[in-house]
Copies of this chain bind each other. A is one copy, B any other.
Amino acid sequence: MALPFAARLDNVETSAIRELFKLLGKPGIISFAGGFPDAAMFDVEGLREASSHVLTHAPGAALQYGATEGYQPLREQLVQFMATKGVGLAPEELIVTTGSQQALDLLGKAMIDPGDAVIVEGPTFLATIQCFRLYGARVIAAPVDSHGARVDELERLIAEHRPKLVYLIPTFGNPTGATLTLERRKRVLELAARTRTLVVEDDPYGDLYFGEPPPDSLLALSTDVPGSRDWLAYCGSLSKVLSPGLRIGWLSGPAELLAKATMCKQFSDAHTSTFAQATAAEYLRAGRMPATLAHVRAVYAERARAMCDALRKELGDAIAFSEPGGGLFVWARLTGAGGKVADAGVLAKRAIEKGVAFVPGAPFYATEPDAATLRLSFATADVDKIREGVERLALALCSHA
Write the residues of chain A forming the contact surface with B, with a CB cutoff of 8 angstroms: 1-9, 12, 14, 36-37, 39-40, 42, 44, 47-48, 51-52, 55-56, 59-66, 97-99, 101-102, 104-105, 109-114, 116, 127, 130-131, 134-135, 164, 196, 198, 230, 239, 243-247, 254, 256-257, 260, 263-264, 266-276, 278-279
Contact = CB atoms under 8 A, between A and B. Distances in A.
Contact of A62 (B65, B127, B245): B245
Nearest to A275: B245
Given A6-B109, A9-B264, A61-B245, 11 more contacts: A8-B113, A9-B260, A39-B61, A39-B63, A42-B63, A42-B64, A44-B63, A65-B244, A104-B267, A127-B270, A276-B276
A55 B47 contact: yes
Contact of A274 (B47, B245, B257): B245
A94 to B, nearest CB: 17
A237 to B, nearest CB: 11
A198 to B, nearest CB: 6
B55 A6 contact: no
Contacts of A60: 39-40, 42
Indicate the member of A63, A99, A239, A272 with the most B CB atoms within 10 Å: A63
A245 B5 contact: no
A268 B270 contact: no
Contacts of A267: 12, 101, 104-105, 127, 130-131, 134
A56 B44 CA distance: 9
A244 B112 contact: no
A371 B189 CA distance: 50
Contact of A9 (B40, B110, B134, B271): B110
Given A6-B111, A44-B59, A110-B5, A134 B264 contact: yes
